[in-house]
Amino acid sequence: MRKGGRFLVGSCLQNMASHLVKPDNRNCKRPRELEPQMPDSPQLSSLGKSDSSSSESSGLFYKDEALEKDLNDMGKEINLMLSAYAKILSERAAVDASYIDEIDGLFKEANTIENFLIQKRELLRQRLTVIANTLHR
Q: How far apart are alpha carbons 17 and 77 in whole angstroms?
A: 18
How far is residue 49 CA from its own chain's centroid? 49
> What does the chain come to in residues?
137
**What pLDDT tens digit does each residue of the chain (137 aa) get?**
444 444 555 555 555 555 544 444 444 455 554 545 554 444 444 444 445 555 556 666 778 888 999 999 999 999 999 999 999 999 999 999 999 999 999 999 999 999 999 999 999 999 999 999 999 87
CB 18 within 8 A of CB 25: yes
**What is the model's pLDDT at position 63?**
80
**What is the model's pLDDT at position 91?**
96
0.75 surpassed by pTM: no
CB contact set of 80 (below 8 Å; sequence gap of 6+): 1, 5
